[in-house]
Homo-oligomer: A and B are copies of this chain.
Amino acid sequence: MTDQRERILGCACDLYLKHGLDGLSMRKLAREVGVTAPAIYRHYGGREEVLADVLREAHRTFSRYLYAALGEPTQLDRFFGAGQGFLNFVIEHPRWYSIMHTAPEHLGMDKLPEDIEGMQSAIHQFWIDRVRECMDATILKDGNPEKTAITMWAHAHGMVQLYQEGCLPVSEEEFRMLFKASGARLMAGVATEAFARDLEGMVLSETDTGIQTG
């Protein structure tokens, strides 16, 4: 029955969200479902298949948080709305964010299933689209949307990682403010204007970075 498979997946998600990857073994999963271990193998080929389904759930939930912003009226609202959705997601579901950034071999896979890679590409593309339309609206400097998206992605991801690792000794509410303020700093730039002009003649001359003086 596919009904039972869904029940198993639900228990697997509960177990993972509560106790992490180590807490999600086939035996514990069976106990949570209320059956014995071999029964699970009637519905899933093995642990790797279960983890793949859990990972799909994580991506679906993440996408829901992001796509909600598409209902906003302006490019800026959609951009900030997506950022707010991202922040809400990582704070409300740290473990789901975590499994999305766990190396496949740590999940017992050589590489991710194609459909999951497709979900990741779609999310990546979502951010590039938000950046591009903010460039069109002269909110972001004109340039290569993909590279600008990577810069902002790296900053957001790094902030979250540092927070979740305990490198930033702040409360949840303080982190929300820190995250936004740091994002604003990225948008406005941390270098003085005089030095930013010098920068163009240095590293920027070697590569296509999409930076313009505006």
Complex contact B158–A190 (CB within 8 A) = no
> What band does the interface of chain A fall in when counting residues whose beta carbon is under 8 Å from B?
35 or more
Complex contact A182–B138 (CB within 8 A) = no
Residue of A140, A155, A186 with most chain B CB atoms under a 10 A cut-off: A155
**In the complex, how many angstroms separate the beta carbon of A62 from the nearest chain B beta carbon?**
14
Q: Give the residues in chain B near A171, CB-CB below 8 Å.
A: none
Complex contact B154–A181 (CB within 8 A) = no
Complex contact A158–B148 (CB within 8 A) = no
User: Is A147 on the interface with B (CB-CB < 8 A)?
Assistant: yes
Q: Give the residues in chain B near A203, CB-CB below 8 Å.
A: 180-181, 183-184
Interface SS of A by simple majority: helix
Known: A188-B191, A188-B199. A158 touches B147 (CB 8 A): no
Complex contact B140–A192 (CB within 8 A) = yes
A41 to B179, CA, bound (A): 45
Q: Give the residues in chain B near A188, CB-CB below 8 Å.
A: 189, 191, 196, 199, 211
User: Is A130 on the interface with B (CB-CB < 8 A)?
Assistant: no
Q: Give the residues in chain B near A184, CB-CB below 8 Å.
A: 199, 202-204, 209, 211
Query: Interface stretch among A9-17, A26-34, A46-54, A159-167?
Result: A159-167
Picked from B148, B180, B185, B192, the residue with its CB within 8 Å of the CB of A139 is B192
In the complex, chain A residues 165-181 whose Cβ is within 8 Å of any chain B Cβ: 165-168, 177-178, 180-181
User: Is A193 on the interface with B (CB-CB < 8 A)?
Assistant: yes
Q: Give the residues in chain B near A193, CB-CB below 8 Å.
A: 214
Task: Give the top 6 A-B pairs by smallest Cβ distance, nearest first.
Answer: A189-B189, A158-B158, A154-B158, A187-B191, A157-B158, A181-B209
Q: Measuring CB to CB, which residues of chain A are less than 8 angstroms from any residue of chain B? A: 101, 103, 120, 138-141, 147-148, 150-159, 161-162, 165-168, 177-178, 180-196, 199, 202-204, 206-207, 209-211, 214
